[in-house]
Amino acid sequence: MISLAARDVLHAWGKFVFTGMGLGLLIGVTLTMAGVYRGMVDDAKVLLNNSGADLWVVQQKTLGPYAEPSSVHDDLYRSILAMPGVADAASVTYLTMQVRQGERDVRAMVVGIVPDGPGVPGYLVAGRQITRSHYEAVADIATGFKLGQLIRIRRHDYTVVGLTRRMVSSGGDPMVFIPLRDAQEAQFLKDNDAIISERNRTAANPAFNRPGVLEAVIDSQSSNPFVNAVLVQIKPGFTAEEVAEPIRRWKRLQVYTRAQMEEILVAKLIATSSKQIGMFLVILAIVSAAIVAFIIYTLTMGKIREIAVLKLIGTRNRTIAAMIMQQAVGLGLIGFVVGKISATIWAPMFPKYVLLEPGDALRGFIAIVFICILASLLAIRAALKVDPAEAIGG
C-alpha cells in the first residue's frame, strides 16, 4: 500500500509548505516564549551562582534583597563573621537606576560590593576586579560599556575596569558593580539643597545644641549606615541550614539559603511573568490548532469527490482517516522544523536572555503532534460522513 497522505502532500506541496511556514513562525514564537521564561529562570540561577554567596542575610520578615526591599545595618557583617561556620561575610547593596555613559543612559542594577568579599562577580571576560575603594566599576557586557570608559552614577564618575557576563537582575537589567561605600552614598544621597536644609533644621533643634553633639548628629545624617543584605560564605563541613539557623535566632534576621533564594526568585518574582507567558502559550496553542484545523478541513473539503470515489472503490474509513491525520501531523512537522529554526535564529536578537531548552522543544513537538491530531478530527468527521453514493451522482 502506498501512503495516500504523502502523495497528496507531494502533489500540493506549495500549499503545504506555505501553510507549514506560517504555522512554523507561530510555533517559533511559542518556543521563544518558553525560552524567555527559561531565560528568566536561568538568569536568576546565574545571578545566585555568581553572587558567590551561600546565605543571604536580610531584614526580618522580608523577601529581600531581590524580591523585596530590605535594609540592615552595615556593621551587621562583623557580628555575622563571628558566628559558627561563617567563612566570610560582606554587605551588599542593590539599586536599579540610570547609568550615564557619554550621551547614553543605560538602565542598570548598581551593586555595591566589598572588594575581595562575597558578592564580587565570579569571573570577568575582560579587565580586572575592583581594587580601589572608590570610583571603579565592573560592568556587565550587556550594558555596552567598554573598558576604560567613564560612567556616571549620580554625582560621581567611575572608570570601567572590568567586564563580566550574564550578570543581570531578575528584571533583566545588566549589573554594574561599584565599591560598597560609593553605592551606599549613591543609594541614600540627598541633593545639596536637601542636605543644607536638613543641617539647618538640625542646628535649630535645641536638643542638639551642646558641644560635639551637633557635629555627631549631622555626621550621622549625611552618611548612610544601611545596606540591603549581607552575603555569607560558609566554611566547608557546615550545611547552609546549620549556619543559617543561629543567625535567624540570635540576630532576629531573615536568612535565606541558596535553595530558598532560588525558590523566592523563581516562584515569587518570576511567577507573574510565567503566568503571563503561560497565557501566551495557551493562546498560541489554540491559534495553532485553529489554523491546522482550518487548513486541513479546507484541504479535505477540496477532496470530497475523491474521498467519495475512494470509498466507493472500497477504501476503508480507517485508511481515509489516517490519510487526513497524517497530513495534519505532516503540517505540524513542517511547522515544528520551521519554528525551531526561526526561534534559534531570532533568539539571540532578544534584549533579554532567551534559553531554548531541548526539553521544551521536545515538549513543544509532542504538543504540536497532539494539537494536529486533534485539529484533524473535524476534517476526519466530515470525510467519514461522505456518502460513497455521491461518487455515482444523480
Partner 1 sequence: MEDGTKQAEGILIEGMRKRYGEGDTAVDALKEVNMRVMPGEVVGLIGPSGSGKSTLLKCLGAVIEPTAGRMTLGREVIYDNGWQIRDLRALRRDKIGFVFQAPYLIPFLDVTDNVALLPMLAGHPNAESRKRAVELLEALDVAHRAAAMPSQLSGGEQQRVAIARALVNRPPVILADEPTAPLDSQRALAVIRILNRMARQYQTAIIVVTHDEKIIPTFRRIYHIRDGRTHEEAGEGREFE
Interacting residue ranges for partner 1, rule: CB under 8 A:
1-2, 4, 7-8, 10-12, 305-306, 309-316, 319, 387-389, 391-394
Q: In the bound complex, what is the minimum distance in angstroms from residue 333's beta carbon to partner 1?
A: 18
The residue at minimum Cβ distance from Mg ion is 394
Nearer to Mg ion, 314 or 394 (CB): 394
**Taking the complex as a whole, how short is the minimal distance between the CB of residue 299 and partner 1, in angstroms?**
11
C-alpha cell at 279: 497565557
Report whether 171 contacts 105 (CB < 8 A): no
CB of 379 to partner 1, least distance (A): 16
Give Cβ neighbours of residue 245 (< 8 Å, ≥ 6 apart).
255
- Name which of 363, 319, 278, 339 is nearest 2 in CA terms: 319
- What's the start-to-end Cα distance of the chain, in Å? 32
The interface partner of residue 305, options being Mg ion, partner 1, none and the CB cut-off 5 to 8 Å by kind, is partner 1
Which of Mg ion, partner 1, none interacts with 310 (beta carbon under 5 to 8 A by kind)?
Answer: partner 1
Nearest CB to Mg ion, comparing residues 10 and 392: 392
14 or 394: whose CB is closer to Mg ion? Answer: 394
**CA separation, residue 42 to residues 29, 67, 165 (Å):** 19, 16, 13
Task: Return all residues near 253 (Cβ < 8 A) that are at least 6 apart.
Answer: 57, 58, 59, 60, 72, 76, 247
Residue 230, beta-bridge partner list? 57, 91
CA distance 346 to 38: 16
For cell 548612610, the residue is 224
Nearer to partner 1, 223 or 317 (CB): 317
The pattern of x and - marking residues 22 through 51 that bind Mg ion according to CB under 5 A reads ------------------------------
We find the least distance from the C-beta atom of residue 329 to partner 1, in angstroms, to be 17
By C-beta, is 10 or 267 nearer to partner 1?
10
Alpha carbon separation from 266 to 39, 84, 148, 259, 273 (Å, rounded): 11, 30, 35, 11, 10
Q: Of the ranges 249-257, 266-274, 281-289, 386-394, which one interacts with Mg ion (CB under 5 A)? A: 386-394
Shortest reach from residue 312's CB to partner 1, in Å: 6
Residue 358 or 394 having the CB closest to Mg ion: 394
> Which residues of the shown chain bind Mg ion in the complex (CB under 5 A)?
394
